[in-house]
Structure 1
Amino acid sequence: MGSDVEIRRPWDIQKAVITALFLREMKTRFGVYNLGYFWAILEPAAVIIVFWAMFGLRMRKHLPGIDYPMFLMTGMVSWRLFASLVSRSLPAMKSNQGLFIYRQVKPIDSLISRMLVECLVYFFVFISFVAAGYFLGYDIRVANIPALIASFAGVILFGFFVGLGGSLASYYSDTIPRVINLCMRPMFYSSGIFFVVATVPDKFRWMLLLNPMLQWNELVRASYFATYSADLVNPLYIGAWLLGSSYASLWFYMKLKEKIIAS
């Protein structure tokens, strides 16, 4: 006798859970604000305008063939994507703790759903800025679209794994997420968002290049602008950061998963 019970594969169950969490995150994040999705565009746009006003004239000679607002846009979107992934991931597990009583919901699902929200939001932010650049008469042509996608994918994975590690560490100490958030400010100013790292004197440049987000920004810009060079990027260095953060956070997650569900 045949059974009418439908057997769902684990992937189908996880996909359904992540979709439900994704929709919940979208409603929670944007549903209560009057500006809604526009706030995600207005905030980085305001920062771009400020830096453009401060450094626009000075940077022209260092960026032949590149419009400075577009230079700012690529760095700002890349940074905001990384920073948002980290900051939104840090409290993700604790804020969704009540859902873990359902065995279908895994702790990492809460981070994956937030990652998807950030990717969707900043995809539209990026498209909006490119469209604005077009209407303002700037050169918006992308030199290497596959390389640009790969560069942003690296930023996304790096932000996700840093956020995952920080979220797990918060179960040991509430201080760790605060330390991570505190480190974001110096990382912001040293990520090359509003300056060309090649113009920095050698005795200071090596310190800036220790910031992996500066090197990811360089890759994003070299992919977007045909005349921009990423010669200062060390693929082994940022690869080590990416692999190290992924291995450490996933190992940490497997060790703590059952404890998080039971807590």
Structure 2
Amino acid sequence: MSARRFATIRSVTALMLREMGSTYGRSPGGYLWMVIDPVAGVALLTLVFSLFLYTPPLGRDFALFYATGLLPFTYYTEVSAKIGQSIRAVRPLLAYPSVTYLDAILARFFLNTLTSLMVFLLLILGILGLSGEVVHLRTARLLDGFGMLAVMALGFGALNCFLFGLFPVWERVWNILNRPLFMVSGVFFLVDQMPQPMRGLLMLNPLTHALAEVRAGIYATYDAPFVQPVYPYAVGLVALFFGLLLLNRHHRFLAIEGA
């Protein structure tokens, strides 16, 4: 058992290094661009929106409010998409017994999670330094919010890893279905300030609970009373269960099908 665990750690680490090298290995700066690219992109979007929207629902700085919604949302969408493509990315390596589909999923999950957390930290600290706004972090709630997002990203990523391989058109359908989520997940607004019945409908989206929990970790004056942590965790774990179940039964077919 310990030998298998060591082999898994070694395979996951090797796949993470391979991902870093294949994505930015030939670019000056290498892996730094995995951090610089999203930081620059999000910073530009935050600046543009902050020029037109001056009064945020929380705090005094719209850039901070927007970033605390956009960055967690972007983390979920990007990590779930990367995991969904993990078997396709390492298909030739799955012929080796030391590399499994689970190694590929975990490698992409850990690499992109670490990258997203660095982006979040750098951008939030940068905005706080420029705006001068004072916040009192509640670390437990901040970690709880990202925990919800991580479980959902891993769950839907694993499920889509199977679906993308079996039904290639599903990847495009999934991207289309995810576009409206940007507008209904609480990136621009607070769900608990919406009137009924809209508020009840928005709360059916598990992402609204996770984003509100992240904001509650940043803004000490915001309690996010509607958040039910069990709901997003349960949604993510159910998706993960079925995703791993289907991959365990059909991963060999998926590896051969696209070879």
> Same fold judged by TM-score > 0.5?
yes
Aligned residue for 1:72?
66
How far the C-alpha of 1:235 sits from its partner, in A, is 3.1
Of 121-130 and 213-222, more deviation after overlay is shown by: 121-130
Residue 15 in structure 1 maps to residue 9 in structure 2 = yes
Q: Name structure 2 gaps, 5 residues minimum.
A: none
Structure 2: distance between partners of 1:163 and 1:169: 10
1:94 and 1:118, CA in 2 relative to 1: closer, same or farther beyond 3 A? same
Which residue does 2:20 correspond to in 1?
Answer: 26
Instruction: Give 1:56 shift.
Output: 2.4
Q: State the match for 1:4 in structure 2.
A: none
Q: Is the 8 A contact 2:154 2:236 kept in 1?
A: no
Instruction: Spell out the pairing of 1:28-107 with structure 2 (5 A cutoff).
Output: 28-33=22-27, 36=33, 37-57=35-55, 59=56, 62-63=57-58, 65=59, 67-107=61-101
Report the 3-state secondary structure (helix = DSSP H, G, I; strand = E; otherwise coil) of the residue aligned with 1:9: helix
The 2-side partners of 1:70 and 1:50 are apart by 13
Structure 2 equivalent of residue 228 of structure 1: 222
Task: For residues 10-41 of structure 1, give each alpha carbon's deviation from its aligned partner in whole angstroms, at most 9, with x where no partner exists.
Answer: 01111111111001111222234458231121
The residue aligned with 2:190 is 196
Q: Which residue pairs with 1:112 in the alignment?
A: 106
Give the structure 1 partner of residue 234 of structure 2. Answer: 240
* Matches of 2:136 and 2:79, distance apart in 1: 25
Contact in 1 for aligned 2:138/2:217 (Cα 8 Å): yes
Deviates more, 1:245-254 or 1:219-228: 245-254
8 Å contact kept, 1:144–1:224 = yes
- Identify if the C-alpha distance between structure 1 residues 149 and 177 changes in structure 2 by more than 3 Å, giving closer, same or farther: same
Match of 1:165 among 159, 171, 189: 159
Q: State the alpha-carbon separation in 1 of the partners of residues 134 and 249 from structure 2.
A: 46
Who is 1:3 aligned against?
none
Q: CA deviation at 1:182?
A: 1.1
Q: Is the 8 A contact 1:191 1:208 kept in 2?
A: yes
Q: Secondary structure at the match of 1:56?
A: coil
1:149 aligns with 2:143: yes
Larger Rg: 1
3-state SS of paired residue (2:123):
helix
Distance 2:221 2:61 in 1: 11
Percent identical residues? 23
The whole-number CA distance in structure 2 between the counterparts of 1:128 and 1:82 is 18
- Gaps of at least 5 residues in structure 1 are 1-6
After superposition, the Cα gap between the structure-2 partners of 1:44 and 1:33, relative to the gap in structure 1 and judged at 3 Å, is: farther
Deviates more, 1:69-78 or 1:249-258: 249-258
Q: Distance in 2 between matches of 1:262 and 1:8?
A: 30
Contact 1:221–1:228 under 8 Å retained in 2: yes
Task: Choose 133-142 or 116-125, whichever is displaced more.
Answer: 133-142
The 1-side partners of 2:134 and 2:156 are apart by 31
Query: What is the aligned partner in structure 2 of residue 216 from structure 1?
Result: 210
- Which whole-Å CA distance do the structure 2 matches of 1:137 and 1:197 have between them? 25
RMSD over aligned CA atoms reads 2.1
Which residue is equivalent to 2:176? Answer: 182
C-alpha separation in 1, matches of 2:242 and 2:122: 36
Distance 1:211 1:30 in 2: 34
CA distance in 2, matches of 1:143, 1:154: 18
Contact 1:40 1:121 survives alignment (8 Å): no
